[in-house]
Structure 1
Amino acid sequence: MTQSRNLITDVAGLRIGNAQDAGLGSGVTVALFDEPAVTSVFAMGGAPATRETDLLDPDKMVPAIHGVVLSGGSAFGLDASSGVQACLREQGIGFAVRDALVPLVSQASIFDLVNGGDKDWGRYPPYRELGYEAARQAGPDFALGTAGGGYGATTANLKGGLGSASALTSSGHTVGALVVVNSIASAVIGDGPHFWAGALEEGREFGGHGHPARVGPDHRRLVWKGGPQPATTIALVATDAVLTKAQAKRLAVASHAGLARGLRFSHALFDGDTIFAAATGRRPLGDEAAEFTELTALAADCLSRAIARGVYEATALPYPGAQPAWRDRFALA
């Protein structure tokens, strides 16, 4: 059963902020932790764009980090973390090294450079300022769809976007997912309106269409963005459980099942599919093996649902020839 917001912020100890630029056709989403969170990451796509991910390996010294950034802009968008660091440093937040404070912020970016927005930004891209603004606005409630890091996102056939979902385990732990859906492939079965994640839907969180009576060969026909165009679905899954860094790594690995169930298809050569997993450490695990296994299963489910919500909530970009949104085609279906 999902909690009241049905957002990743149902997990105690984190806040989300969005900032976007309509002319640019891109944006930034930031997750900030109230206290440093044990975090790891796993990338299965063939073309990831990331920053500060090596420090998240279980064998690395840093025990926890202060935030995660999901942005547009491809490699240019990795500047967003600098803006987030600036915002955190102003608040006296960072990893202490003698008299220095270094905010630890990890990031992944999507490729949204050919979506119709004006990318002629001059010498330096605008993502640092967008990152700062997203961090400044971080709170428990945030917009989905064409917002933040999902502003310029697209899929093979419908506008992509920012999605989120949450769930409660049988032992009382909260788990949630936040995703920027910019897939090379499709989140809907055939031409829609049904989502691949339809069997996992809670209530009518993405339209209540379920699955078609039969998924035939035509529904399974592969479609993807034309030409060698990179495309990435990037995500953060989070829980209030107390986890080790190795368990956070395993949670990130297991959550990739959510991409495989929410999209047809994922982890391709031109994908940068990357998932962060964070533990805010509010509730210890009891029966560790059983409760952790349930966490991994529900995190993947939340990610599939969040993918569908990101597409369901999206609106078309304000440019000629922009990709249609799910609501443009199926709102009355």
Structure 2
Amino acid sequence: MNNLLTDIAGVRVGHAGDMTLASGVTAVVFNQPMVAAMDVRGGGPGTREGALLDLANTVERIDAIALSGGSAFGLEAGGGVQAWLTEQGRGLNVRGAVIPIVPGAICFDLLNGGNKDWGRFAPYRDLGYAAAASAATSFTLGSVGAGLGALTANLKGGLGSASAQTSDGVKVAALVVVNALGTVTVGDGPWFWAAPFEVDGEYGGRGLPETFTPDMLTMRIKGGPAATAVENTTLAVVVTDAALTKTQAKRLAMIAQTGFARAIYPVHAPMDGDVLFAAATGERTIDPLIGLTELGMVAANVVARAIARGVHAAAALPLPGALPAWRDRFGN
């Protein structure tokens, strides 16, 4: 296990970004179509093919997931991922017409100082294609892909990943883009809210403060009183090698999203667009009650860890007035 989403066999991840733009795309590509569902908790989401993932609807399996910066402009990234899959002959076959199924979600990074004057067409379709074309089992964390331009209330955001196994050896892993309204750290210190779930010092090993002061619990949000519904989002993809129905994948997504609350303060606000996708390869049978409960519990822990890892690995944007990275303030 490499503590990455790609610890689940059949999953690849690719990034594409533009530092001048200060934005990018991450593509999660599945070697075979996977059962998937989605859970939305934030008050300002931006999604592609979200209705398709509703339990009442017919299609159960997807070919890839596109995560992008750029707010609503970034929804075009899914078209780029779809174009690459089309070239590979991948997709749902409807009487000879092959249609790649690519849900996606976006985060708002339009005010991070990058040059967003892109002319008539936004660059996200091409970035989506490049991200899918570069997808591999090894990938970078931090200020890359959809996390390139991500920010939190007090520090540079980024892209993180983590993995674990249940007591029965069922694998689950997460990839998260952290562009949160709130903070991932406690007060003005180096401690991560997700500290209780840390494994092997993966985000600095600082633990939690000895005591919590009222100042540490004061609300710190991006934009302060001027915060709006479209400025913030945390996006996550959770994948397991368990055999799940679409309904069970939805339950996994719901439980796993509690990991957001373990790592971000505050979270799921009217100003957030928090979205989590859950997908399953179908390799291992699990008990539908106790087994799914444990899987969700471990998935939530993995999501919390991935959030902290994303901020811990991030690098500040090389732009005037840019927020510092965790490492700038607290070292390694």
TM beyond 0.5: yes
> In the alignment, what sits opposite 1:102?
99
Q: Is the 8 A contact 1:165 1:303 kept in 2?
A: yes
Residue 203 (1) aligns with residue 200 (2):
yes
CA distance in 2, matches of 1:238, 1:319: 35
For residues 212 and 174 of structure 2, the distance between their equivalents in structure 1, rounded to whole angstroms, comes to: 27
1:275 aligned partner: 276
Task: Quote the sequence identity (%).
Answer: 55
Q: Does 1:305 align with 2:302?
A: no
Compute the RMSD of aligned alpha carbons.
Answer: 0.8
1:77 aligned to which of 74, 79, 101: 74
Q: Which one-letter code corresponds to 1:118 in the other structure? A: N
SS at match of 1:17: strand
1-structure distance, mates of 2:189, 2:314:
15
The offset of 1:24, in angstroms, is: 0.4
1:236 alignment partner in structure 2: 237
Of the three residues 53, 59, 63, the one matched with 2:60 is 63
Deviations 1:261-317 (A, max 9, x none): 1001111111000110110112121x3321111110011100100000000000000
Per-residue deviation, residues 127-161 of structure 1 (Å, max 9, x unmatched): 00000000001111111000000000000000000
Q: Conserved in 2, the CA contact under 8 Å of 1:156 and 1:183? A: yes
Contact 1:33 1:280 in 2 (8 A): no
In structure 1, stretches of 5+ residues that fail to align are none
Distance 2:268 2:188 in 1: 22
Alignment map for 1:285-304 (pairs within 5 Å):
285=286, 287-304=287-304
1:48-197 equivalence runs, <5 A: 48-197=45-194
Instruction: Please give the alpha-carbon distance, in whole angstroms, between the structure 2 residues aligned to 1:295 and 1:199.
Output: 18
Aligned residues: 328
Residue identity in the other structure for 2:312: Y
- Which residue of the partner structure matches residue 260 of structure 1? 261
1:245 aligns with 2:246: yes
Amino acid aligned to 1:182? N
Secondary structure, counterpart of 1:185 in structure 2: coil
User: 1:46 touches 1:267 (CA, 8 Å); kept in 2?
Assistant: yes
Distance 1:246 1:315 in 2: 38
One-letter identity of the residue aligned with 1:200: F
SS of aligned partner of 1:81 = helix
Larger deviation, residues 54-63 vs 237-246: 54-63
1:78 Cα offset (Å): 0.3
CA distance in 1, matches of 2:280, 2:261: 23
Task: Kindly indicate whether residue 317 of structure 2 is the aligned counterpart of residue 317 of structure 1.
Answer: yes
Aligned-partner Cα distance in 2 for 1:73–1:43: 19
- Provide the TM-score with structure 1 as the length reference: 0.97
> What SS does the aligned partner of 1:86 have?
helix
Q: Indicate the SS of the match to 1:279.
A: strand
When structure 1 is superposed on structure 2, of 304-313 and 228-237 the one drifting more is 228-237
Preserved CA contact (<8 Å) 1:14 1:280: no
**In 1, Cα distance between the equivalents of 2:155 and 2:288?**
41
Cα displacement string for residues 50-104 of structure 1 (whole angstroms, at most 9, x for unaligned residues)? 0001111122111201011111010000000000000000000010111210000
- Aligned residue type for 1:297: M
Query: Which deviates more, 238-247 or 10-19?
Result: 10-19
Runs of 4 or more, structure 1, over 2 Å off, are none
Q: Is the 8 A contact 1:38 1:243 kept in 2?
A: yes
Q: After alignment, is 87-96 or 208-217 more displaced? A: 208-217
- Residue 228 of structure 1 deviates from its aligned partner by 2.5
Instruction: Give the distance between the partners of 1:69 and 1:170, measured in 2 at CA.
Output: 31
Please report how far the alpha carbon of residue 13 of structure 1 lies from its aligned counterpart in structure 2 after TM superposition.
Answer: 1.7
Matches of 2:156 and 2:60, distance apart in 1: 37
> What is the DSSP-based 3-state SS (H/G/I as helix, E as strand, rest coil) of the residue aligned with 2:266?
coil
Q: Distance in 2 between matches of 1:294 and 1:215?
A: 30
Q: Deviations 1:8-33 (Å, cap 9, x if unpaired)?
A: 11111211111110010000011111
Q: Which moved more, 1:108-117 or 1:289-298?
A: 289-298
TM-score by structure 2 length?
0.97
Question: Please, which runs of 5 or more residues in structure 2 have no aligned partner?
Answer: none
Distance 1:9 1:296 in 2: 18
- Asked if 1:212 is matched to 2:209, the reply is yes
Q: Secondary structure at the match of 1:178?
A: strand
Question: 1: CA distance between counterparts of 2:156 and 2:172?
Answer: 26
Q: What do residues 228-285 of structure 1 show as CA deviations (whole Å, max 9, x unaligned)?
A: 3420001111100000000000111111210011001111111000110110112121
